[in-house]
Amino acid sequence: MAPARLPSKPPPMHDASKRLRAVLVLNELMEFQMRRHMHINETDFQAMQHLLQHRSLSPGELAKSLHLTSAATTTVIDRLVVAGHARRVPHATDRRRWLIEPTPESIRDAMSQLMPMVIEADDMVRAMPQDHQDAVVTYLDGVIDAIQRRIVEMDGESTDGASPATSGGAS
Residue 23 within any structural domain of the chain: no
Q: Which residues constitute the domain of residue 138?
A: 31-152
CATH number of the domain residue 62 falls in? 1.10.10.10
Residue 18 within any structural domain of the chain: no
Residue 158 within any structural domain of the chain: no
Write the CB contacts of 100 (distance below 8 Å, at least 6 apart in sequence).
51, 56, 57, 58, 59, 62, 77, 80, 86, 87, 88, 89
Residue 79 within any structural domain of the chain: yes
| pLDDT at residue number 116 | 97
Work out the percent of the chain whose per-residue pLDDT is above 90. Answer: 82
The whole-angstrom separation of Cα 59 and Cα 68 is 11
Query: At residue 33, does pLDDT exceed 70?
Result: yes
Residue 157 within any structural domain of the chain: no
Per the structure, the count of domains in the chain is 1
Residue 168 amino acid letter: G
Residue 17 within any structural domain of the chain: no
Residue 88 within any structural domain of the chain: yes
Q: Can you tell me whether residue 98 is helix, strand or coil?
A: strand
Summarize pLDDT for 114-171 with one digit per residue, the tens: 999 999 999 999 999 999 999 999 999 999 999 999 999 999 887 765 444 433 443 3
Give, in order, the Cα–Cα distances in Å from 17 to each of 116, 130, 140, 147, 156.
25, 22, 11, 13, 26
Residue 91 within any structural domain of the chain: yes
How high does pLDDT run on average in the chain? 91
Provide the whole-model pTM: 0.79
